[in-house]
């Protein structure tokens, strides 16, 4: 066997060198972020939002780690994600499906103890029918739309929902929940409006505890928490609030390998469509990741990577599998075939990269899951 490839499990190998990129997920930092958020919301609890494979970091590793640190509520977006996660967690952990109860998923949800978030009266009826067929009470979260117009029961369905609850006892409602649309911006007036609407919902359904804040909502204050909060991005080190210092610890770092180095004269075109033309003799390095690896094409001519704290600007277009950077600011021969440059780390945060790519940290994180060698600390 190649000495650079270690057997890990029957179907998984860890490449310790020779990979195009190395993504490190610091599980200790993740745990500290969870403890930090739990402290912030106490006596309310912090769930963990682990949808989209825990924002691309690997839900199979992230969720059990958070369980060890006291997390008992896990939210995924889709039924299929719940079926993967459910067997990896002990029975006293709850797995909730944010996107709701999809037709066809009822029997497996009931059998495996997956808790749907009920987003409509139709979903309520389907879940109630399943409960009646099984002659057993089934758990659910009731989501109400408090102003985002995305998911959840609309205001006009609240009276009939309240009536249903008086007669129907086949569904065990664990929480009423809603989701904030603008929680990352404390100045946004939508926050107060949604909070007021959530307070009305909580009054109308006073028998059930409330589940409200996402990461940003946690830092809007206690009145946004309910008894259960649902942080996602903050767990993974993303900034919960825009434009202020990030209170969370970084969890992800990413280094990418250099695959070629060259020196070109002034007046040389670089990359697809020749969008960049050098204005002096320039040393260039091509690195082994591109838009297929989650480094958006919008970084073309804008973003940078780092080496020894030196900024290396991206020149020309981001390709599918590679990016060319200007390394003239580094000492000669500092970077050679196989050297690594920092894409995410001490010199460049998720927010830095997202800003340069004209997107948000969430999109960067969830895009990084493909071809890098992933290591958990």
- Residues forming the annotated binding site for substrate? 150, 320
CA distance 266 to 277: 8
Q: How far is the CB of 76 from ligand PLP (least distance, A)?
A: 10
Distance from CA of residue 369 to its chain's centroid?
Answer: 11
Q: Where in 169-188 is the site for ligand PLP (CB under 6 A)?
A: 179
Q: Which of 232, 290, 303, 316 binds ligand PLP (CB under 6 A)?
A: 232
Q: Measure Cα distances from 60 to 50, 65, 86, 170, 190 in Å.
A: 9, 9, 10, 32, 35
**Residues contacting ligand PLP: total by CB under 6 A:** 12
Do 179 and 150 meet the contact criterion of CB atoms below 8 Å apart? yes
Residue 303 in the binding site for ligand PLP (CB under 6 A): no
Non-local (6+) Cβ contacts of 162 within 8 A are 204, 205
Residue 270 in the binding site for ligand PLP (CB under 6 A): no
Q: Which of 182, 215, 319, 324 binds ligand PLP (CB under 6 A)?
A: 215
Q: Measure Cα distances from 216 to 158, 191, 338 in Å.
A: 27, 10, 40
- Which of 154, 267 has the CB closer to ligand PLP? 154
Q: Which of 231, 237, 290, 316 binds ligand PLP (CB under 6 A)?
A: 231
- Which of 214, 319 has the CB closer to ligand PLP? 214
Q: Which residue is nearest to ligand PLP (CB)?
A: 232
Q: What is the largest CA-CA distance in the chain?
A: 80
Residue 146 in the binding site for ligand PLP (CB under 6 A): no
Binding region for ligand PLP (CB under 6 A) out of 162-170, 210-218, 277-285, 368-376 = 210-218
Q: Where in 39-68 is the site for ligand PLP (CB under 6 A)?
A: 49, 51
Q: Phi/psi class of residue 66: alpha, beta or left (left: φ > 0; alpha: ψ in -120 to 50)? A: alpha
Q: Measure Cα distances from 103 to 92, 99, 115, 133, 181 in Å.
A: 26, 12, 14, 15, 27
Q: How far is the CB of 121 from ligand PLP (least distance, A)?
A: 19
Residue 361 in the binding site for ligand PLP (CB under 6 A): no
Annotation marks residue 51 as catalytic: yes
- Which of 5, 42 has the CB closer to ligand PLP? 42
Phi, psi of 325 (to 5 degrees): -125, 155
CA distance 299 to 221: 35
Question: Beta strand pairing status for 94-97 and 114-118?
Answer: parallel
The catalytic position among 51, 195, 236, 372 is 51
Q: How far is the CB of 178 from ligand PLP (least distance, A)?
A: 8
Q: Which of 19, 233, 327, 353 binds ligand PLP (CB under 6 A)?
A: 233
Residue 369 in the binding site for ligand PLP (CB under 6 A): no
Residues facing residue 143 across a β-bridge: 177
Instruction: Kindly write down the DSSP assignment for every residue of 233-271, as one continuous string.
Output: TTTTT--SSTTS---SPP-EEEEEEEEEEEEE-TT-EES
Helices (H), 139-296: 158-167, 190-204, 215-218
Phi, psi of 26 (to 5 degrees): -90, 100
Q: How far is the CB of 230 from ligand PLP (least distance, A)?
A: 4
Query: Using the 8-state DSSP alphabet, how is residue 293 labeled?
Result: G
Q: Which of 45, 73, 225, 230 binds ligand PLP (CB under 6 A)?
A: 230
Q: 3-state class of 281 per DSSP?
A: coil
- Which of 150, 262 has the CB closer to ligand PLP? 150
Using a 10 angstrom Cβ sphere, with 0-12 exposed, 13-18 middle and 19 or more buried, the burial of residue 74 is: buried
- Which of 362, 376 has the CB closer to ligand PLP? 362
x/- track of binding to ligand PLP for residues 98-137 (CB under 6 A): x---------------------------------------
Residues facing residue 311 across a β-bridge: 306
- Which of 170, 359 has the CB closer to ligand PLP? 359
Q: Which of 182, 214, 286, 361 binds ligand PLP (CB under 6 A)?
A: 214
Footprint on this chain of ligand PLP (rule: CB under 6 A)? 49, 51, 98, 179, 214-216, 230-234
Residues forming the active site: 51, 272
């Amino acid at each position: 066997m190649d000495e650079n490839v270690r057997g890990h499990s029957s179907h998984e190998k860890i490449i310790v060198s020779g990979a195009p990129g190395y993504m490190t997920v610091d599980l200790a930092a993740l745990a500290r972020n969870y403890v930090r958020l739990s402290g912030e919301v106490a006596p309310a609890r912090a769930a963990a939002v682990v949808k989209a494979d825990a924002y691309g970091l690997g839900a199979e590793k992230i969720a059990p780690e958070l369980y060890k640190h006291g997390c008992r509520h896990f939210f995924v977006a889709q039924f299929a994600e719940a079926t993967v996660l459910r067997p990896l967690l002990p029975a006293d952990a709850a797995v909730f499906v944010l996107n709701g109860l999809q037709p066809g998923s009822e029997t497996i949800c009931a059998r495996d103890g997956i808790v749907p978030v009920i987003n409509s009266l139709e979903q309520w009826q389907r879940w109630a029918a399943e409960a009646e067929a099984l002659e057993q009470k089934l758990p659910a979260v009731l989501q109400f739309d408090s102003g985002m117009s995305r998911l959840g029961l609309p205001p006009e369905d609240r009276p009939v929902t309240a009536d249903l609850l008086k007669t129907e006892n086949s569904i065990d409602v664990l929480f009423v929940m809603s989701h904030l649309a603008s929680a990352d911006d404390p100045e946004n007036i939508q926050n107060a409006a949604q909070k007021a609407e959530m307070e009305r919902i909580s009054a109308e359904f006073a028998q059930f505890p409330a589940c409200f804040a996402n990461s940003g909502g946690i830092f809007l204050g206690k009145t946004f928490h309910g008894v259960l909060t649902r942080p996602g991005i903050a767990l993974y080190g993303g900034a919960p609030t825009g434009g202020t210092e990030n209170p969370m610890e970084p969890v992800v770092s990413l280094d990418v390998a250099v695959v070629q180095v060259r020196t070109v004269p002034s007046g040389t075109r670089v990359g697809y469509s020749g969008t960049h033309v050098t204005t002096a003799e320039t040393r260039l390095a091509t690195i082994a990741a591109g838009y297929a690896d989650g480094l958006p094409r919008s970084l073309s001519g804008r973003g940078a990577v780092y080496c020894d704290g030196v900024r290396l600007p991206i020149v020309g277009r981001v390709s599918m599998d590679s990016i060319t950077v200007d390394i003239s600011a580094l000492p000669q021969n500092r970077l050679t075939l196989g050297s690594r440059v920092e894409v995410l780390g001490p010199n460049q945060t998720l927010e830095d990269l997202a800003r340069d790519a004209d997107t948000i940290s969430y999109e960067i994180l969830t895009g990084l899951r493909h071809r890098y060698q992933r290591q958990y600390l």
